[in-house]
Amino acid sequence: MSISTIRMRDIMALVVVAAILVALIPLALPGVVFGATSDNLTGQFTLGNSAPTVNNVTIYETNRTDIATSLTPLTEYSVKVTVADANQLSDLSWVKVTVFWDETGTDNASNIPADNTMKAVTFTCTVGTTPTWGMNPSSGTTWVLMTDNCTQPSLSGPSGDFFFNFKPGKVATEKASDWNAYGQAQDTSSALGTLYETRSYAMNWYGGIDVTTTNATWTGVTTGMDFDATNAKVEGISVNYIANGDYRVAVTTDSSWGSAALNTAGIPTANQFSLKANNVAGVPSGNLVTTSTAGCTIDNAGVQTTTDVSGLTVATNALYLKLGAPFVKGTYSGQVCYTIIDR
């Protein structure tokens, strides 16, 4: 064996020994610590706003079960507005509903009239833990928002029913159909949801009357006096009318004033009297007064009044008296009734 062969074996032996020592080093160093086997990062996303939707608008009777078929001024109803919001109802700013007459009959929201006592009123719920309720017009009207009876749903859910209890005003336009409701809901990002409810409601006729002249007193009357006598007239009687549609006005009186009997033919005899009535001065142009509203009409052309607070005042009404003969001396009195009637 040559010297070179011996040296090569020695070198190979040293390499094997070195490899064994390298493999054993970790076992000989117990203080060495490896890196973590897991670690974290932060995940994050931002939810965008979802616009509210109005899914139902319906006018009910106050039991909130029976859908109204017609509306009557000064009678309470409850209009339901169903709203949904994927961000929960607490995201809402307000909910509104407009009750209105669709004058064009097109069921188009662009044709909804501006709020006014004759054609449209808007009710608002400002949404909150304690909601606030309002209406427009807010004054000078007999429309009423019954705030104590209005309700807001729980705001923690994604949908709910808002109920607006209201009474139509005196001059809400009389119509056989085409009163509708329009709901709106806006959230805190000003996103808006709307619904035009095409269900049609009638608005029934309303009429009101107030005779502001309290007495019609004839003085200096004489037996057998005719309608055109100087002392036969009482003029300047003031009557106030409020109506949401066409009307006529009738005048009636009692069949007797004490022991004096009413003669409806205008030809009174002993202890009888007759009356004529008109809405303007002019003897003897009035109509004979009877005990029936069908007997004496003094205005057959009344139309809707434009305000439900002050109405229309006619201060030119007149009454004319005719007496029969003979007639027992004395004082006689009875009721004269002015009546407003749908026509």
Question: What is residue 36's predicted lDDT score, i.e. its pLDDT?
Answer: 87
330 pLDDT more than 80 = yes
Residues 68 and 199 in one domain: yes
Residues 190 and 330 in one domain: no
Question: What is residue 283's predicted lDDT score, i.e. its pLDDT?
Answer: 65
Q: Does residue 214 lie within any of the structural domains?
A: yes
26 pLDDT more than 80 = no
Please indicate whether residue 27 or residue 71 has the higher confidence score (pLDDT). 71
CATH code where residue 73 lies: 2.60.40.10
Residues 199 and 77 in one domain: yes
In the sheet that 247-253 helps form, which strands lie side by side, from edge to edge? 297-302, 247-253, 336-342
Question: What is residue 180's predicted lDDT score, i.e. its pLDDT?
Answer: 97
Q: 96 vs 36, 48, 224, CA distance in Å?
A: 59, 24, 67
User: pLDDT tens across 265-307, in order?
Assistant: 999 999 999 999 999 987 667 899 999 999 999 999 999 999 9
Last residue of a domain, one of 181, 203, 225: 203
Domain that residue 251 falls in: 207-342
Residues 129 and 177 in one domain: yes
Q: Concatenated DSSP letters for 91-122?
A: GEEEEEEEEEE-TT-S--GGGPPPSBTTTEEE
Last residue of a domain, one of 140, 175, 203: 203
185 pLDDT more than 80 = yes
Residues 193 and 83 in one domain: yes
Question: What is residue 15's predicted lDDT score, i.e. its pLDDT?
Answer: 43
Residues 291 and 321 in one domain: yes
CB 58 within 8 A of CB 181: yes
Stretch 310-333: mean pLDDT = 97
pTM for the model stands at 0.84
CB 76 within 8 A of CB 62: yes
Stretch 240-261: mean pLDDT = 98
CATH code where residue 323 lies: 2.60.40
16 pLDDT more than 60 = no
Residues 282 and 179 in one domain: no
324 pLDDT more than 50 = yes
Residues 196 and 228 in one domain: no
Residues 74 and 196 in one domain: yes
Which residues lie closer than 8 Å to 236 by C-beta, 6 or more apart? Answer: 213, 281, 315, 316, 317, 318
Residues 155 and 235 in one domain: no
Side chain identity at residue 93, one-letter code: S
Total structural domains in the chain? 2
User: pLDDT tens across 252-268, in order?
Assistant: 999 999 999 999 999 99
**Cβ neighbourhood burial of 301 (10 Å; 0-12, 13-18, 19+):** exposed
Residues 239 and 196 in one domain: no
Side chain identity at residue 6, one-letter code: I
29 pLDDT more than 70 = no
Q: Does residue 46 lie within any of the structural domains?
A: no
Q: Does residue 8 lie within any of the structural domains?
A: no
Last residue of a domain, one of 203, 219, 250: 203
Side chain identity at residue 133, one-letter code: W
Q: Does residue 26 lie within any of the structural domains?
A: no
CB 155 within 8 A of CB 135: no
Q: How many CB atoms lie within 10 A of CB 176?
A: 10
Phi then psi for 261, rounded to 5 degrees?
A: -100, 145
Question: What is residue 33's predicted lDDT score, i.e. its pLDDT?
Answer: 64
CB 273 within 8 A of CB 321: yes
Residues 58 and 193 in one domain: yes
Q: Does residue 14 lie within any of the structural domains?
A: no
| Short-list 264, 78, 45, 99, CA closest to 163 | 78
- Would you say the C-alpha torsion 308, 312, 313, 314 has a positive or negative sign? negative
Question: What is residue 19's predicted lDDT score, i.e. its pLDDT?
Answer: 45
Q: Does residue 285 lie within any of the structural domains?
A: yes
Q: Does residue 18 lie within any of the structural domains?
A: no
Q: Does residue 47 lie within any of the structural domains?
A: no
